[in-house]
Structure 1
């Protein structure tokens, strides 16, 4: 890059295909600044169609440079899969639905559209800075934010003006180092069902969106994918998930774990508190990028998980709970996946949150009911709601959990002044895997998600036929509980559900 810039004449133009790392790595600020000033065209590609001799997951770009300007001014488009998309988008009239990452058929979206094209200048870079950088970072040094269309960029600009997580003064922990602390002897590999949360060492796959125990490792532990989904409907009140790491309490296990400072200035083990936990690294094109869940006191985790919380009493955990609720929302996930795959505290602190709002209370209670699956959460539930926890307190049914998460998404959007049309556009264009699952997953008359084995049999039927009752019974491999799936089998419409929740809360009516 520098060689071609120095070799070009004052009126020369240089076009280079190269990786995008200088736009996203914090230490590359000097090179990034000079690139912004010289850029005229920026087309970012993902080689999913395997058109070129580049790994299909590698992001790269076509960059057209010229002489440096006083301020940046260039045309940009991201998440392109074919060169023709960029060419045709430049002359598009703006008609038709907005493109996303995938089209309605689940194929990589190659549709040209005028709104794929973003003109990047000072105001855009300042928006990117507000999403990604600290206040003292020069706006010319900001890392690049990737949005697939201008409507998504407009939502991002709105969210960039909202209050941030950093204002909550949360404390963070990366837990045990999966390599170093294992070598030191604080824990070792080995499958087991802990008798207490004090013996639980969580890994990323344990965590789902608003679900602290969505999977557990199989005893075979043959690979990092050898995990089984947990049956939330049959979950005992005292359930503790199986783990693949076991603690060594002969070591100073508690003394050496991460500590947080309380209001008195004393350092206390982070594991004494309820915390929001999430996977440290996640795919930006997957079902979700952010998987935030509440974990109970006593629990530790390896550095594939990061936690946030407060060293304070149960009654003073409202900020932590609001953080968890907002982080579980589609809009926070959208901000995060626009910025990168490593979900460090510095990125999480830049995400939006609103405190002291009726809508925040709605989102928080829904978040609690999705997370408080066992009696380990009873003290927190009691402290926040002044109600005793019972087996019926958490939401266990799959369809009801779907509705509850949409309640959170709608309440968060309303609190951030994002319209329901904008919220649905983000869902439609930024979350293709979620949208495909919503189209493919079926739920029975009792709100249970139909097991994949039953769905396979269903697909083989002729139109109008039904599976006999004996073929609609399925035993959950984790709980060994048998379920009978009752017709009709139907998908759930997330956009319709989001709009209904949005309208309900906009009118001030709580569910």
Structure 2
């Protein structure tokens, strides 16, 4: 399977996919070879070269960030009836090999990773009576019908807030705020979670266009709380960026709020199910699963195939999802209903002075500004721990988690390799395109990058708050360091392995 990223065919789009298929005559059994994520024909030759023992740089992109044309025998996926049945079971819940859809598998060892997903027999579709999926407002048609209206503003209450896709990030309902003039996907600014009030909500693009009673009549109903907007819900970006930093991007939104169809919503009868699902939706293994489906949109039939696994790691996963998402007082009821005294016994799974275990031991039954993780360093670490805990719950190995990261997430790797944190846990510089405006420019950062100590000041203008724009002074403390996700996975994995050994 080829992708036209290297523009072998200039007359078609660079994302266009096509295949070269070689067919033979009738055989007694089904068997064939497949190679995916091809960008040059020469890769096929090197895959079948018996003298080629290449074991390095076999991801979708190489270490330079270019599309990978390296070949290796490990890239040849030899399909037979058993492997086709595996794909049919994992992606369609079927035992009929005719239902098998070939996913974009980079290396043959990924088949073993898919087997771990297949060993989880419970999917979201199996708890169908306890959750529902909704699109809510259609961005175009709902304006035409007079249900919602374009209105770039800070909402004065939850009912007045209608989320769009860019507003949320992975485990972050306060990821970005619309600019005063918001016409493009780039017209959003990152929110500094350390510099917002506890009652903060971002500037959004739409308001209800009808009177409240008429508006409420249009809201979908469920069988447990009446209207879906009576509940905390998960929303996930509907457009799936298969080649981006992350593909599955989901967060929890509070009651009363709604969203346009750029987000897909999930309403759960049980809030424990809601938070556990959000933890898993925020993990790299689930992101990988969605990515291998090779779909452009997150449709209900895709979500229904996601595993839903309960394990001894539930409490740790739920706590971390809550600490990521409960960023304002609107989440007080969710936190207070789910808080457990055992949460205070948690500890970070990595040694670093920017991570204090007081974060856990100081947790209270009431939600405060300090409950949630707000520094960039803390939030990254929580996501790394969620990756490991989800992998353990699925029955994966550390090596399989690292394989997923190395092979299928080249953009995330490139961002990790050029994101620098100060000693207060703030990002001082990043090449992450979704965080434009965060930290110093590259030119300014190069001047201070190697400083061993000292404080460095950045003056910014913040227009993500109600009384903005306001001038802010952000202080960064040297030295500046990067993180290594593979090494962090190892440290966190061994920590949790020891911690949960007798549970």
Partner of 2:125: 166
Are 2:369 and 1:391 aligned?
yes
How far is 1:403 from its partner?
Answer: 0.5
How far is 1:308 from its partner?
Answer: 1.1
Partner of 2:154: 193
How far is 1:72 from its partner?
Answer: 2.9
1:91 aligned counterpart, secondary structure = coil
Aligned equivalents of 1:371, 1:453: Cα separation in 2: 23
1:413-432 matches, cutoff 5 A:
413-432=391-410
Deviations 1:151-200 (A, max 9, x none): 22321222122132222332111111222221111111120100111111
Partner of 2:68: 109
TM (norm. structure 2) is 0.86
Deviations 1:385-428 (A, max 9, x none): 15111111110010010110111110011111111111011111
Are 2:332 and 1:378 aligned?
yes
Q: Structure 1 pair 464/142, CA: closer, same or farther in 2 (3 Å)? A: closer
Partner of 1:504: 495
Q: Structure 1 pair 226/104, CA: closer, same or farther in 2 (3 Å)? A: same
1:485 aligned counterpart, secondary structure = strand
Q: Structure 1 pair 462/333, CA: closer, same or farther in 2 (3 Å)? A: closer
Q: Structure 1 pair 463/388, CA: closer, same or farther in 2 (3 Å)? A: closer
Aligned equivalents of 1:395, 1:464: Cα separation in 2: 27
Are the equivalent residues in 1 in contact too, given 2:202–2:464 (CA < 8 A)? Answer: no
Partner of 2:323: 369
Deviations 1:23-58 (A, max 9, x none): xxxxxxxxxxxxxxxxxxxxx011111122332111
How far is 1:142 from its partner?
Answer: 2.6
Are 2:481 and 1:490 aligned?
yes
Q: Structure 1 pair 437/133, CA: closer, same or farther in 2 (3 Å)? A: same
Aligned equivalents of 2:334, 2:474: Cα separation in 1: 32
RMSD: 2.2
How many corresponding residue pairs? 457
Are the equivalent residues in 2 in contact too, given 1:197–1:240 (CA < 8 A)? Answer: no
How far is 1:248 from its partner?
Answer: 1.7
1:258 to 220, 224, 231: 220
Of residues 86-95 and 290-299 in structure 1, the stretch that sits farther from structure 2 once superposed is 86-95
Aligned equivalents of 2:256, 2:235: Cα separation in 1: 13
Aligned equivalents of 1:205, 1:383: Cα separation in 2: 29
Q: Structure 1 pair 303/493, CA: closer, same or farther in 2 (3 Å)? A: same
Of residues 147-156 and 299-308 in structure 1, the stretch that sits farther from structure 2 once superposed is 147-156
Are the equivalent residues in 2 in contact too, given 1:399–1:448 (CA < 8 A)? Answer: yes
1:478 to 450, 461, 464: 464
Are 2:232 and 1:297 aligned?
no
Q: Structure 1 pair 159/189, CA: closer, same or farther in 2 (3 Å)? A: same
1:226-265 matches, cutoff 5 A:
226-250=187-211, 252-262=214-224
Are 2:242 and 1:287 aligned?
no
1:108-187 matches, cutoff 5 A:
108-135=67-94, 138-162=96-120, 163-169=122-128, 170-187=131-148
1:353 to 308, 330, 333: 308
Aligned equivalents of 1:250, 1:478: Cα separation in 2: 28
Are the equivalent residues in 2 in contact too, given 1:475–1:483 (CA < 8 A)? Answer: no
Aligned equivalents of 1:112, 1:309: Cα separation in 2: 45
Are 2:2 and 1:48 aligned?
no
Of residues 214-223 and 411-420 in structure 1, the stretch that sits farther from structure 2 once superposed is 214-223
Are the equivalent residues in 2 in contact too, given 1:458–1:466 (CA < 8 A)? Answer: no
1:319 to 269, 273, 280: 273
Partner of 1:16: none
How far is 1:475 from its partner?
Answer: 5.1
Aligned equivalents of 1:79, 1:269: Cα separation in 2: 44
TM (norm. structure 1) is 0.85
Aligned equivalents of 2:273, 2:283: Cα separation in 1: 16
Aligned equivalents of 2:162, 2:234: Cα separation in 1: 15
Aligned equivalents of 1:272, 1:472: Cα separation in 2: 42
Are 2:415 and 1:457 aligned?
no
Q: Structure 1 pair 469/242, CA: closer, same or farther in 2 (3 Å)? A: same
How far is 1:105 from its partner?
Answer: 1.6
Deviations 1:460-493 (A, max 9, x none): 4399568985655555553543211111111111
How far is 1:347 from its partner?
Answer: 1.1
Deviations 1:302-345 (A, max 9, x none): 1111111224xxxx311121111111110011010110121112
Give 5+ residue unaligned stretches, structure 2.
341-364, 430-437
How far is 1:94 from its partner?
Answer: 4.3
